[in-house]
Chains A and B, each alone.
Chain A
């Protein structure tokens, strides 16, 4: 598999599909580039599961990944503050077509520190090496982060601090699924993350609202109802989307969202057993089949 991909060096952006808008809007016939990728790429498990060839070392993974996808969400910036030196080294090795989304560090989302403004400045400096290859900063908010006045104020301040960077917000609490929130995100040109997750109560629902005409952002977490609240990542994100589910998603949402934005990113987070890259490849193929062409 890898040899055949390696020989295709002329392929400029694997995993990118030019979706031709088919809606009845003024955008009919317009092309929206949609990039499919995964949340993280450095998983030893993906070697065991056959996505990476046997014996692949972590240092080789980004290069191999970039032969299949052109965008990746950097997960580790959630666990630790982004560091410019480490990201510079990564960028030096990354193929030129790769784009990156970077998660905001947990000290500004899940475990908010008192000095979060200072942390935000450090984060901005840390991700600076991504330059124009930063597709978005992803603010993932915790399930308990509801639409209280204090939280709205905090989120507003956080978005102000990221104003000049492309930003996407993923809510987990359903109280944010209201029009005034979407309108405010639209005013700020911040992407609302559409989430595909199990149909459970108290979760933010899937909405195909596009709040930023420059970018729509979708995350596929899998639909594992039993594992979702297990507290174990290996259960929570253990889900394999069937072809039917992916086809249905494409037919119902992809073209609508693509018609409202200049470009889009679709990230698969069901990393267990390398289901994410497999599902990503499949969705890219389905998108290319239907309305566009895959690079």
Chain B
């Protein structure tokens, strides 16, 4: 007998802590609660704003603005350097609360954003609005932060709803109400639009989402090309993207390095990268997995951040191939002359290592040699720790070695 699967109406909760870094700093120091706050790496020569409080925002301060300009706009603001480790810790604590309600959680990068798919959890935890309210109450009690919570039938709808109520509040968009909810809203509330696209839409006097929704895909095709598909769908509240869990340890291997001092020395940065690669490679081999993509996250001394990736069709767990991918990603990410403060290496698109042997082993001789070396290094590391041995490029500049974090 043929079994028919029916797709359930989706229920997606979005939690968003407005000005997350500020919220965490204010929990850490309650004296900061009643004054405007700007978070920026102020030791850097050309620092830019990492985050700011609502008061500073009202005074015109924006993320990415130069610190000098920001302090001119909001003179009474307290200044703090960003503490990413603290924000990661707060994210983990928030995530732990959410895990009581759903296994399907998508978390942002230390920014206080979470999507939680609660489709089908009603039998265990009750109606979704109640879950949203409870999580907010629990997070408020345990962490002292007050997230926005919104509810919709997709990530898109819940995301737009959170932008509507920002900086505090909640919004429930009833199923079926998506298009009517979006129609009167300003077009810049739609996520995923580039500055150029927004300019273009304004040129056409398309100021509301409803205005955009009135146009057919063919009409949008002329000025926006391939992007017309996306614009057409989102303006009508259509979003099939799934809530995925990129933070799950099974899906990626994540290592980071913070430099003792901000640097733009190639040798030092590549040596730090080689160390991250060797850790990721060892981890992959231990799990009997291969990675098909390597991502590099660079944070500059002024707070700017760039993320770039490199991928290969055949997955790898070998340091030599991983390093090649990492260097490609680095060359794509490192486009400024500003010094680098922090570097993160994420290996994802993981899959099981194939047990099949190569068809032409003579072509793999060099690789077999490398594998033997890595195997020997892994055995030593297993016994004496990771630092006991490494490849030469890891030690290019000993004094550059600094804080490496293994997540």
Q: Show the binding face of A for B, using Cβ within 8 Å.
A: 40, 42-45, 48, 54-55, 57-59, 75-76, 79-80, 85-86, 89-90, 106, 232-234
Q: List chain A residues, Cβ under 8 A from B126.
A: 232-234
Contact partner of B6 (CB less than 8 A), chosen from A42, A45, A55, A89, is A55
Q: Does B85 contact A (CB under 8 A)?
A: no
One digit per residue, 1 when the CB lies within 8 angstroms of any chain A CB and 0 when it does not, for chain B 217-232 equals 0000000000000000
B175 interfacial contact with A, CB 8 Å: yes
Task: List 14 A-B pairs, Cβ < 8 Å.
Answer: A43-B122, A44-B11, A45-B123, A57-B175, A58-B9, A76-B129, A76-B172, A80-B129, A80-B170, A80-B172, A86-B181, A89-B180, A232-B125, A233-B130
* Given known contacts A57-B175, A80-B170, A80-B171, A44 and B129 CB-to-CB distance under 8 angstroms: no
Question: In the assembled complex, which residues on chain A have CB atoms less than 8 Å from the CB atom of B125?
Answer: 232-234
4 pairs of A and B residues whose beta carbons are closest in the complex: A59-B176, A233-B126, A58-B175, A79-B129
B176 touches A79 (CB 8 A): no
The answer, among A57, A59, A86, A234, for a CB contact under 8 Å with B124, is A234
Contacts of A42 in B (CB 8 A): 127, 174
Q: A57-B9, A58-B174, A79-B172 are in contact. Are A234 and B123 (CB under 8 A)?
A: yes
**Is B170 a contact of A79 with CB atoms below 8 Å?**
yes
**CB–CB A45/B174 < 8 A:** no
Contact count band on B = 20 to 34
**Mask: chain B, 111-144; 1 = CB below 8 Å from A; 0 = not:** 0000000001011111101101100000000000
A55 vs B8: C-alpha distance when bound (angstroms): 8
Q: A58-B9, A89-B180 are in contact. Are A44 and B122 (CB under 8 A)?
A: yes
Bound Cα distance A80, B8 (Å): 25
A57 to B177, CA, bound (A): 12
Taking the closest CB of chain A, its distance from the CB of B148, in whole angstroms, is 11
| Least CB separation from B184: chain A residue | A85
CB distance from A24 to the nearest CB of B (A): 44
B residues engaging A (CB < 8 A)?
6, 8-9, 11, 120, 122-127, 129-130, 132-133, 169-172, 174-177, 180-181
B18 to chain A, nearest CB (A): 17
Which of B8, B129, B170, B180 is the most central at the interface, judged by chain A CB atoms within 10 Å of its CB?
B129
Residue of A whose beta carbon sits closest to that of B6: A55
CB-nearest residue of chain A to B126? A233
Q: How near does chain B come to A124, taking the closest CB pair, in angstroms?
A: 18
A102 → chain B, closest Cβ, in Å?
14
CA distance A168 to B108 in the complex (A): 43
B328 to chain A, nearest CB (A): 47
The residue from A48, A57, A59, A80 contacting B123, defined by CB atoms under 8 A apart: A48
Which residues of chain B are within 8 angstroms of A90 by Cβ–Cβ distance?
174
Which residues of chain A come closer than 8 Å to B177, judged between CB atoms? 86, 89
